[in-house]
Amino acid sequence: MILIHDIIEILLMKNKLTKPEIFCIYNANGGFIGELSYFIKKYIKGFNCAMCDITHNKIRIKGEWKRKQAEFDYDLKALHLDEQPEMIHDFTKNKAPCVIGITNNKLQLLISDEELRAINGDVNLFFEKLNYTIRNIYNQKG
């Protein structure tokens, strides 16, 4: 026998939004050649990737980034330009660096390049901004 409580719970489950996957997109290619190219562009030509500044110090991933990423409530991945699946690549073209969310195959820009630049490499500020944005866009506790 199905109770009213069960029906309400089923309806709530049906309408519940799937937890978004979060992707941080660098404005650089990966691998040894990509990393070397970025290093040269950054330190010789003055090129800058705001997402790279958040996740990396001069030569490696920041310890604070690793800690915050491990504690984060959502699936959070960082991708280089050449590591993106086609669907993400098409969406982020000319937007990188940026942060996007994917829920039910729907892509959403969460943090733009301009907003990443304003964060100025601060890992804590990045996660505060990301949590705030997730709460507002997806109505979820972040």
Q: What is the pLDDT of residues 48-64, one digit of tens each?
A: 899 999 999 987 899 99
Q: What is the pTM of this model?
A: 0.82
Per-residue pLDDT tens for 99-133? 999 998 899 999 999 999 999 999 999 999 999 99
Q: How many Å from the N-terminal Cα to the C-terminal Cα in the chain? A: 37
Q: How many Å apart are CA 129 and CA 116, to the nearest integer?
A: 9
Residue 104 is encoded by which pair of tokens?
Answer: 């039910």
Cβ 133 vs Cβ 115: under 8 Å: no
Chain centroid, CA 6 distance in Å: 36
Residue 141 pLDDT level (bands cut at 50, 70, 90): low
Residue 17 pLDDT level (bands cut at 50, 70, 90): low
Determine the 3-state secondary structure of 120 from DSSP: coil
pLDDT for the residue 81: 95
Q: How many Å apart are CA 38 and CA 91, to the nearest integer?
A: 22
Q: How many Å apart are CA 22 and CA 2, to the nearest integer?
A: 37
Determine the 3-state secondary structure of 21 from DSSP: strand
Amino acid at 103: T
